[in-house]
Copies of this chain bind each other. A is one copy, B any other.
Amino acid sequence: MKLGRLNHIGIATPSLEASIAYYREVMGATKVHAPFDLPAQGVKVCFVDTPGENGSAGTQIELIEPYDETSTITGFLAKNPAGGQHHMCYEVADIHEAKAWFEGLGCRVLGEPRIGAHGTLIFFVHPKDMNGVLTEIMETPKEGAAH
């Protein structure tokens, strides 16, 4: 496998509203997408764009607030009440090939590929097998799809 684009950094937050205000007012973000629910994971999500090199699209910030006590984010916030960095998401060309790659290396893939926040298939890999970082692998959206 070849290292793909770092699509986004997932940031858990106890308040999507406060985090959006932080990115706008403290960090000066100008492109904040509309928040939406991701019921499969019991979370509300909001993407914030960062600028890439030479006018390209940079790695996004994915703000994540749980709205359901069964959400995996709820446990993270219990340990980190102010929120913080939750996961890193890399793109791959083919999600099934990527799953076979990680499993072949003995990395624990957490569940089957499912539709993620960008509308393409994703899975997570256990942080203990990924250099201490909860890692999301997502299939690159097709040309013209929203970042």
Identify the A interface with B (CB < 8 A): 1-6, 9, 11-13, 18-19, 22-23, 25-30, 50-54, 56-59, 80, 82-85, 88, 90, 102, 105, 107, 127-128, 130-133
In the bound complex, what is the Cα–Cα distance between A59 and B9 (angstroms)?
11
Q: Count the copies.
A: 2
Residues of B near A25 (CB, < 8 A) are 105
Residues of B near A11 (CB, < 8 A) are 131-133
The reply to whether B127 and A26 form a contact with Cβ atoms under 8 Å apart is no
Residues of B near A82 (CB, < 8 A) are 127-128, 131-132
When C-beta atoms are compared, the residue in chain B nearest to A12 turns out to be B132
The reply to whether B5 and A105 form a contact with Cβ atoms under 8 Å apart is no
Q: A84-B132, A85-B88 are in contact. List 11 more A-B contacts (CB 8 A).
A: A2-B28, A3-B30, A5-B52, A26-B105, A26-B130, A26-B131, A50-B90, A52-B58, A82-B131, A82-B132, A84-B133
